[in-house]
């Protein structure tokens, strides 16, 4: 049982004054009171002196106005200190943002994706920060029709972000989910293209990420509801033209999340209930859209599977039988067991996703960190599509027509902007549809490299480098080293305007593909989770050291950058080797992991216990987490300049994690470098969804990095 006691009388006020470096202009950093907070757990006792910073309102959204006075006063003091420390960086940020904007392609629109007789597209108008979604019919001379103009709908909101954009199968309707609060609780909007009217079909509490889909007949919208703890727990069916929402399916296990889709051939609505180590799929047939869903295979621990349909059969992508990088099976529709192996398991060649078309089955794989698209034909023959770039990313746009004669793919690398290509589904021939044009941009002025850094245990960690051609290798160049390394999510080497702008300013941009991601297959992920999580930290440090050994950069000229679980990574690496980094940028960082994973009410904790362990029930998990949690392992040493960001409305990583970590670093560090908390009172885990907001954010990060390397902080 968890026992907590707190000395309430100590919460009388929030002091500011000495402790840490004064900012330019003489502004001293806030000194957060250390209030004893005893936690007894599994026979272990710890003190959490900054527990008072955590606030969850009983109802409604967290706002500055409803914070307890002590917390609000402290966060306002942090904001004042951040403004003073970051003032020189903010002065340089517009110049950096302008360099980013200079690499944009004007009002160029990506090529449309055809679905039936309609071509769907989105683009950013020249100078605009929000996207416009359009379509055009196949009729000769047809004019584009605007489906969604984000900028217009964002007016009057401090925060606006959309997701889940999709047309109905009959093309009469267009739907999207929008967040106007910043807390990842969406409303769902539907435009009737016949009348032009936009209705809010679901006014609140929807889950937009893989959480809405039209039925095959276009009569209904299936959508996912989030409960009071922000967990997606119910599937509803609502008539598109209005009416009562009908409960279709409910998941009561808080360790499982849900997603919903329409299979590629349109034969089913598929409800996937899954966690890190288990899954279960329920199907609703197109011929009976109001039927109760039926389960394909009941959930089993340590078995994951996904369902699609192709060539008159159901496809089963699964890791059953030790196939950790997945095998692809075929099963007759209505059957109860797979009868054919379409693609056997090959360790290290991970099948990521399948894309069925009538003429061929496309699948995206990752082989030794690089994507490859493979076509499987009905006769069992295959055709592989790969590229020669040292590091690159392939993606397959959603919404492609099952009957299409080609599969659209997007190729990009850190130096090559997006190239849209079509793969002929009969021959495998590759044709260029459009290359993203940027006036005056010379891709050959940049070099992309893939190197391998030896980890302490001998593992070879891939590192992707972007630099200017001819950049010296004498240690004189500063470097930003980015990493994530969690949940099996790979840090794909994509084209990034912010990264390019940084390189233009004389830096190297590097991505450390540490364990915990899946860059080298699922085993790479397993070797960086749970009781092997420290591997992620030591991998990241090893990547930094190897870059120094190669002369790419030098110790003290590397800025570590990570977000969310990547914030955990860079904070852990900062504790492991504080002397290596010129600065650390931790965006919405998961740094209070032991306390968060001990919170059974947190919306994500039950889901991700397989990844981190359960410190409420498992002493081994508690002890291991205590040994690596960044907040618990701040040490008396000279830390580099630290910038932690947070969103007040964040339900994934509470703002208090960054606030507590910054306070602990300030209290314990023996050095004079600043630790800064930058709070966005209008945002949650993500900033507002405009391109200009992204550039403003990233330009401040790069200006902070420059100041850290130059010693100006």
Q: Which tens digit of pLDDT belongs to each residue from 351-393?
A: 999 999 999 999 999 988 899 999 999 999 999 988 989 999 9
**Rounded Cα–Cα distance for residues 225 and 251 (Å):** 11
Same domain? For 521 and 584 the reply is yes
Task: Identify whether 128 is part of a domain.
Answer: no
Task: Write out 497-560 in H/E/C secondary structure.
Answer: HHHHHHHHCCCEEEEECCECECECEHHHHHCCCHHHCHHHHHHHHHHHHHHHHCCCCCCCCEEE
Query: 644-700: per-residue pLDDT in tens?
Result: 999 999 999 999 999 999 999 999 999 999 999 999 999 999 888 788 889 999 999
Q: Which of 263, 271, 362 is nearest to 313 (CA)?
A: 263
The pLDDT of residue 14: 43
What are 371's strand-pairing partners? 366
Same domain? For 393 and 413 the reply is yes
Write out the residue range of the structural domain in which residue 467 sits.
Answer: 446-710
The pLDDT of residue 13: 39
H-helix or E-strand spanning residue 707: helix 691-710
The pLDDT of residue 3: 31
Same domain? For 495 and 618 the reply is yes
**Rounded Cα–Cα distance for residues 327 and 317 (Å):** 6
DSSP state, 455? P
Tokens linked to 566:
């990547």
Of the residues 404, 437, 470, which one is the last residue of a structural domain?
437
Task: Identify whether 289 is part of a domain.
Answer: no
Residues of the chain with pLDDT under 50: 1-19
Total tally of structural domains belonging to the chain: 2
Task: Identify whether 515 is part of a domain.
Answer: yes
Same domain? For 405 and 545 the reply is no
DSSP state, 358? S
The pLDDT of residue 9: 35
The pLDDT of residue 8: 31
Same domain? For 429 and 452 the reply is no
Query: 296-331: per-residue pLDDT in tens?
Result: 999 999 999 999 999 999 999 999 999 999 999 999
Same domain? For 584 and 668 the reply is yes
Task: Identify whether 563 is part of a domain.
Answer: yes
Task: Identify whether 496 is part of a domain.
Answer: yes
Q: Contact at 8 Å (CB) between 222 and 260?
A: yes
Of the residues 437, 456, 484, which one is the last residue of a structural domain?
437
Same domain? For 395 and 495 the reply is no
Q: Which of 544, 553, 517, 546 is nearest to 533 (CA)?
A: 517
Backbone phi, psi, residue 682, to 5° = -100, -5
Q: pTM score, two decimals? A: 0.94
Same domain? For 390 and 433 the reply is yes
Same domain? For 409 and 489 the reply is no
Same domain? For 451 and 433 the reply is no
The pLDDT of residue 23: 66
Task: Identify whether 585 is part of a domain.
Answer: yes
């Amino acid at each position: 049982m968890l026992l907590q006691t707190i000395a309430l009388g100590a919460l009388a006020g929030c002091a500011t004054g000495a402790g840490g470096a004064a900012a330019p202009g003489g502004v001293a950093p806030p000194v957060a009171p250390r209030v004893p907070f005893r936690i007894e757990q599994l026979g272990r006792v710890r003190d959490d002196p900054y527990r008072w910073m955590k606030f969850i309102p009983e109802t409604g959204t967290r706002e500055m106005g409803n914070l307890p006075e002590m917390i609000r006063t402290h966060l306002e003091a942090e904001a004042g200190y951040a403004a003073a420390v970051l003032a020189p960086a903010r002065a340089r940020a517009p110049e950096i943002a302008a360099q980013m904007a200079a690499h944009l392609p004007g009002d160029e629109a990506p090529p449309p994706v055809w679905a039936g007789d309609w071509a769907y597209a989105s683009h950013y108008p020249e100078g605009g920060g929000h996207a416009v979604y359009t379509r055009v019919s196949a009729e000769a001379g047809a004019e584009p029709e605007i489906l969604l103009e984000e900028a217009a709908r964002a007016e009057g909101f401090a925060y606006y972000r959309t997701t889940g954009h999709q047309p109905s199968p009959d093309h009469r309707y267009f739907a999207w989910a929008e967040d106007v609060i910043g807390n990842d609780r969406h409303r769902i909007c539907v435009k009737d293209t016949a009348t032009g009217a936009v209705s809010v079909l679901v006014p609140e509490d929807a889950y937009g990420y893989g959480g809405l889909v039209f039925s095959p007949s276009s009569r209904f919208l299936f959508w996912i509801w989030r409960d009071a703890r922000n967990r997606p727990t119910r599937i509803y069916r609502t008539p598109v033209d209005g009416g009562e929402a009908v409960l279709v399916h409910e998941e009561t296990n808080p360790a499982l999340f849900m997603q919903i889709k329409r299979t590629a051939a349109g034969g089913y609505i598929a409800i996937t209930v899954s966690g890190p180590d288990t899954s279960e799929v329920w199907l609703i047939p197109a011929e009976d859209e109001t039927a109760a869903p039926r389960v394909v295979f009941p959930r089993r621990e340590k078995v994951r599977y996904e369902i699609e349909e192709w060539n008159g059969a159901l496809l089963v992508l699964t890791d059953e039988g030790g196939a950790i990088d997945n095998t692809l099976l075929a099963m007759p529709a209505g059957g109860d067991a797979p009868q054919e192996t379409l693609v056997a398991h090959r360790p290290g060649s991970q099948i990521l996703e399948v894309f069925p078309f009538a003429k061929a089955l496309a699948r995206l794989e990752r082989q030794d960190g690089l994507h490859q698209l493979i076509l499987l034909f009905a006769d069992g023959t295959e055709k592989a599509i790969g590229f020669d770039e040292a590091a690159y990313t392939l993606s397959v746009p959603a919404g492609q027509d099952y009957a299409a004669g080609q599969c659209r793919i997007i190729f990009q690398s850190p130096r090559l902007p997006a190239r849209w290509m079509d793969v002929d589904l009969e021959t495998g021939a590759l044709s260029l549809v459009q290359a993203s044009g940027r006036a005056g941009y010379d891709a050959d002025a940049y070099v992309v490299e893939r190197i391998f850094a030896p980890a302490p245990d001998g593992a070879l960690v891939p590192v992707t480098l972007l630099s200017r051609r001819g950049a010296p290798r004498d240690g004189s160049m500063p470097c930003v080293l980015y990493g994530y390394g969690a949940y099996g999510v790979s840090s794909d080497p994509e084209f990034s305007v912010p990264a390019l702008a940084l390189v233009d300013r004389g830096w190297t941009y590097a991505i450390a593909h540490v364990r915990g991601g899946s860059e080298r297959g699922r085993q790479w992920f397993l070797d960086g989770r749970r009781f092997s999580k420290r591997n992620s930290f030591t991998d990241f440090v090893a990547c930094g050291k190897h870059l120094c050994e190669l002369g790419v950069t030098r110790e003290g000229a590397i800025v570590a950058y990570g977000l969310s679980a990547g914030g955990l990574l860079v904070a852990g690496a900062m504790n492991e080797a504080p002397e290596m980094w010129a600065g650390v940028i931790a965006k919405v960082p998961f740094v209070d992991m032991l306390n968060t994973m001990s919170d059974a009410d947190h919306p994500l904790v039950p889901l991700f216990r397989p990844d981190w362990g359960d410190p409420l029930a498992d002493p081994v998990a508690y002890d291991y987490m205590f040994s690596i949690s960044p907040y618990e392992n701040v040490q008396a040493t000279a830390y580099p300049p630290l910038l932690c960001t947070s969103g007040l409305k964040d339900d994934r990583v509470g703002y208090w994690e960054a606030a507590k970590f910054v306070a602990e670093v300030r209290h314990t560090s023996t050095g004079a470098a600043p630790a800064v908390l930058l709070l966005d009172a209008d945002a949650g885990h993500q900033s507002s969804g405009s391109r200009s907001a992204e550039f403003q954010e990233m330009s401040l990060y790069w200006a902070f990095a420059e100041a850290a390397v130059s010693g100006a902080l």
